[in-house]
Amino acid sequence: MAENLGEVMEKKVADEKFGEVLESGLLDSTEIESAIEQTESILMFSIFEKKAIILGNKRKVIYPKSEIIPKEFRFMVYSTDKVQELLNLGGEKFTLVEIRKKVITLSNGNFTLEFGLGCPPFCP
């Protein structure tokens, strides 16, 4: 069900499709790789109170562990294989969680991940 959630594209294509980044949060790519190991098949990303947040299955907070997230707060759900593909293609030490007008994207190097599903309502 959660396989292949997301599509990696060149950053310039994402900028044309989804518009400018309104807010962004920085994550160390090793934190994301660690998060992949802590969940079944998906990761969720957003920015909450000016901090990049990573959730796993059933909205379990993975990073930073101490955060308490309201259940109605919106995240973007991506399959872990697509997140790993972004990290591999981008190859950079840091990854950006980006809030745009209608979507939440992840960018690493010259690549961006989008076409995930919003949670809520889709919260595996």
Q: Does 4 score more than 90 pLDDT?
A: no
Average pLDDT over residues 38-62: 95
Identify the pLDDT of residue 1: 44
Identify the pLDDT of residue 7: 96
Task: Give the integer Cα–Cα distance in Å for 77 and 103.
Answer: 11
All domains of the chain in start order, with CATH: 7-119 (3.10.150)
Q: Which phi-psi region, left, alpha or beta, contains residue 109 (left: φ > 0; alpha: ψ -120 to 50)? A: left
Q: Residue 101: how many CA atoms within 13 Å on its side-chain side? A: 7
Helix (H) or strand (E) holding 23: strand 21-28
Tens of pLDDT, residues 88-120: 999 999 999 999 999 999 999 999 999 999 999
The predicted model scores a pTM of 0.93
Identify the pLDDT of residue 3: 67
